[in-house]
Amino acid sequence: MDRIKVIGGNPLSGIIPISGAKNAALPLMIASLLTDDTLTLENVPHLADVEQLVRILGNHGVDITVNGRRERQGESYARTVHFTARNIVDTTAPYELVSKMRASFWVIGPLLARMGEARVSLPGGCAIGTRPVDLFLEGLAALGVEIEIDGGYVNAKAPKGIVGGRYVFPKVSVGATHVLMMAATLGKGVTEIENAAREPEVADLAKCLNAMGAKISGAGTSTITIEGVASLSGARHRVLPDRIETGTYAMAVAMTGGDVVLENTDINLLRSAMDALQSAGAQISETESGIRVVRNGSGIAPVDVTTDPFPGFPTDLQAQFMGLMTMAKGESRITETIFENRFMHVQELARLGARISLSGQTATVSGVDRLKGAQVMATDLRASVSLVIAGLAAEGETVVNRVYHLDRGFERLEEKLTNCGAQVERISG
């Protein structure tokens, strides 16, 4: 099993190209099930989760081809991928596939919309909480879907097709918003989704669906209206930049010091996180190609943050920000409101010398003057990269084990950091 070795102490300087967003690419790929024409997606990142979804879509009969590679520094960047679901050969998403990636459950929406039925395995638990699918099923039921749960599978049928309706989410759910929006595009009549997720990835999916012929308005606000259409066509769409990757590298610069341009990204995708970083002492500015992040030797100031749905501070940057706060000059508080069990990185950061105490969903971080490298274990995708960030500033050698988590969401992490002066190496086996 691969490991990442980090030798700390080097400031970062240079350019880091930001990849396409995993959290946008996955629902966009699933949207290909809605049409028998070809959906072409540009800027698709090469990640383990993307490759897993390729296998899942192939199981349903989607033909997938990759071209348009642009070579840079020996690696392929910004892949262009063509998805053609001319014939849906199977409306079942089996446990052995769904259990490996929760987002694969989202195929239930397009399958119901296009085929009138779907049999999808329940995804099961997750390292960062139970993350139930109740909101997905309640929302689909509001659109005329008949649902039965049997043997760990959701058996869903829409005998009259998807019927326009109104659903008010009791709490914000990005995944369920994706699913209801996709299902309603081929529905009869008008669907209104209230308290919808406002994340940029939701608006990006709506932009693509509209290019395919859907009639969606309000995406990016808390009320989304979908006027159903008889069919969708193919389209060409570019995946938006990964705001979580953007924030992660920005925090790495703030942790180590240095001067880095994050290329091909947009500060408007994560204003709250950038505001928190500026409060911590980083200098953030927009450039023609992206965002410049600079931190001089004045140190890191403590900042309190609370995770919230967009436009609030992203839960997917909570662990990384905690890594940064371990060396702040004072005490900070980080409150997690989205997922339970998302503080598993605390014990691993403590192995590096961090001082963190937990009380419910709030972590109090007392900054220390130095961290010291150690063996640590990645517990989930975002927690794993927080350990890399801490390792970049720690004295000596840090080895992060179980980095398959990293490969799910960060494209060429070692290469991007090494090109900016970090000492980061993957150890295979």
The CATH number assigned to the domain holding 290 equals 3.65.10.10
pLDDT, the chain, mean: 93
pLDDT of residue 77: 62
Check whether 228 has a pLDDT greater than 80.
yes
Please tell me whether residues 177 and 296 are part of one structural domain: no
Q: pTM for the whole thing?
A: 0.94
List, for residues 150-205, the tens digit of each pLDDT value.
Answer: 999 999 999 999 999 999 999 999 999 999 999 999 999 999 999 999 999 999 99
Average pLDDT over residues 112-132: 76
Please tell me whether residues 227 and 246 are part of one structural domain: no
Check whether 250 has a pLDDT greater than 90.
yes
pLDDT of residue 1: 80
Please tell me whether residues 224 and 250 are part of one structural domain: no
d(CA 285, CA 251): 14
Q: How confident is the model at residue 429 (pLDDT cuts 50, 70, 90)?
A: confident
Average pLDDT over residues 296-301: 85
Please tell me whether residues 265 and 145 are part of one structural domain: no
Q: How confident is the model at residue 124 (pLDDT cuts 50, 70, 90)?
A: low
Check whether 130 has a pLDDT greater than 50.
no
Structural domain boundaries, residue 252: 3-18+241-427
Please tell me whether residues 252 and 177 are part of one structural domain: no
Q: Which two tokens stand for residue 372?
A: 């010291």
* Cis previous bond, 311, omega within 30: yes
Please tell me whether residues 77 and 10 are part of one structural domain: no
Q: Which two tokens stand for residue 3?
A: 């490991």
Please tell me whether residues 190 and 248 are part of one structural domain: no
List, for residues 368-380, the tens digit of each pLDDT value.
Answer: 999 999 999 988 8
Query: Which position has the higher pLDDT, 302 or 289?
Result: 302
d(CA 350, CA 125): 26
d(CA 92, CA 111): 9
Please tell me whether residues 176 and 259 are part of one structural domain: no
Q: How confident is the model at residue 101 (pLDDT cuts 50, 70, 90)?
A: confident
Q: 322 in helix, strand or coil?
A: helix
67 assigned binding-site residue = no
C-alpha to C-alpha distances, 211 to 207, 233, 421, nearest whole angstrom: 6, 8, 41
Question: Tokens 């799910």 correspond to what residue?
Answer: 408
171 assigned binding-site residue = yes
22 assigned binding-site residue = yes
174 assigned binding-site residue = yes
Q: Which of 222, 238, 254 is the last residue of a domain?
A: 238
Cβ atoms within 10 Å, residue 90? 12
| Residues 329 and 302 sit within 8 Å (Cβ to Cβ) | yes
Please tell me whether residues 218 and 259 are part of one structural domain: no
Catalytic residue among 126, 149, 358, 427: 126
Count of domains for the chain = 2
* Cis previous bond, 17, omega within 30: no
d(CA 3, CA 32): 35
173 assigned binding-site residue = yes
172 assigned binding-site residue = yes
126 part of the active site: yes
412 assigned binding-site residue = no
Please tell me whether residues 146 and 256 are part of one structural domain: no
List, for residues 332-375, the tens digit of each pLDDT value.
Answer: 999 999 987 779 899 999 999 999 999 999 999 999 999 999 99
- Chain centre distance of CA 116: 29
100 assigned binding-site residue = no
pLDDT of residue 76: 47
